[in-house]
Structure 1
Amino acid sequence: MSPALLILGIVALIHCVFAAHAKKCPDPGLLKNGNIHFTDFSYPHFINFSCDPGYILQGPNTSQCLKNGQWSAKLPKCQPVICPPPPVCEFSVLLYHRLKPGNVSVFQDEIKFECLLPYALFGNEIAVCQADGKWSAVPECRTVECPRPEGIANGYIYLLLRRAYHYKETVTYGCNPTYVLDGPVESRCEKTGQWSTKPTCRAPCAIPVKRATVLYNSQKVKVQEHLKNGVQHAEIIWFFCKNKKQHCSYKVPARCNDGKFTVPACFKDQRIQLFWKTDVADLPPCETIN
């Protein structure tokens, strides 16, 4: 065998022996908010690093598995993108505050905007720090003026001022005596330039019965003595009706609904009851008999 062939054989043998004992590096682990790209963890291969959108690589972008089975570089870190303060002037009517503690806003952080009164906010009140280091759309503040508020039937407005009303200003309503306020006490100037829902004054009810014993506010009372002026809206009177078969009484409710009052059909006019020895209200309750 020629010397040249002998040398080539020895080199090939050495290469095979070395390859059989090639060092393998340990699993590098996970890169938080990023990815590791690789084909093999053994010498002399490389691994590459990249970060998810919204994060910046801090450290080396590659690492090589060395002969000693160690990586040439430690894992880098993926740091979140930082957003600068939003474009709000120092003396602007548009204010903001961070929704989590700290003085720095990073990717996916949120801030909440508000306007100084009487300005109203138009647009999204929440802005998000985006992957490109910019804030999502910033809202604007506009002046809003509502027309003079209108009154309500059978009611009035407290301290109505003869001036323009602005966003979030309120007026308070009340009702005339015997009428009941139904709905919100206040109406507010909204950003639409209109007032929020006004209340309604509901009318009282006269009781279309001359004589009767009824249950009112959990007490037995005479209509002709205690309820001559009727009842207010939403109040309930319980009438006593007679079960002729069992000779007992049962209660049926009647409710005042904005001036309308209907006496239960089972109730007998008191003029007929005058001929009875016992008032229906004094009969034993039917539930105690059953």
Structure 2
Amino acid sequence: TCSVSDIEIENGFFSESDFTYALNRETSYRCKQGYVTNTGETSGSITCLQSGWSPQPSCIKFCDMPVFENSVTKNNSTWFKINDKLDYECFIGYENEYKHTKGSITCTYYGWSDTPSCYERECSIPILDPKLVVSPRKEKYRVGDLLEFSCHSGHRVGPDSVQCYHFGWSPSFPKCKGQVASCAPPLEILNGEIKGTKKVEYSHGEVVGYVCKPRFLLKGPNKIQCVDGKWTTLPVCVEEERTCGDIPELEHGSVKLSDPPYYHGDSVEFTCAETFTMIGRGSISCISGKWTQLPKCVGKYVCIKWILYERILKAVREKGQVTY
């Protein structure tokens, strides 16, 4: 036989009231609050064998999965032993109290060594040119906040606004200059051209647009700006090899046919039957291998109903009611 007095359960106790157990008989034990068995359970069982109780009962200190604030972990465990580490990562735009986006905490006898909390990142304004006017003025700026700039005197050199991101302000802050240089005519780009009439000289702050020739796709900004005698980065026109398939059919309409293949930038025009009215653009374009949205041809009576329906919706949105 086995006796309960033969074994001591540290941080636990026997569930049953018997003191003596026959050979091969099993009994249960429970762990105190804040403790679990080696398998993470609140209770376990031991068996009376010829050599005594087996297996040895065990109740160990543990930590529950903590509550995460603006952070997440990839660990799927529900409980942790003493000295176990738990890694966590902050949401985008957040950081912990140590200004890091990642961290780890350790399970100790008294609980977790820290809380996996992350706080929204903030941007601070550096020392700026005293001639620069900043709006709005605040003590703290959160991710997404926008700052606009103007000059008390002189000319602004740089962007008219910057935004607070999780990595800081972008783009760089502007400056105020008393004298700024003008720009020579901008460079031509391969397979593209400048929009509008060219000039001999461009003033600081002037903007010039670019367009690509048919079958070419614009990569980069479609406009450049003269900034104190220098143009901002030029775009490039790259060949778009993808073509569009057959022209889609328009119900109650017809298309001015053209021969395939249809390259990037190609357009086709539609017309509606005599008793129908067109809703939408009268042409579609091939853009990066896909046709833009097809217009609709609707009966004139349907068209009038459609216009009235849109007016009713507009009235509902603006006033919350419709007056007939």
The TM-score by the shorter chain falls in which range? 0.3 to 0.5
Normalised TM-score (structure 1): 0.36
Where relative contact order (Cα < 8 A, 6+ residues apart) is larger, the structure is 1
By percentage of residues, which structure has more strand? 2
Q: Which has the higher helix share?
A: 1
TM-score with structure 2 setting the length: 0.32
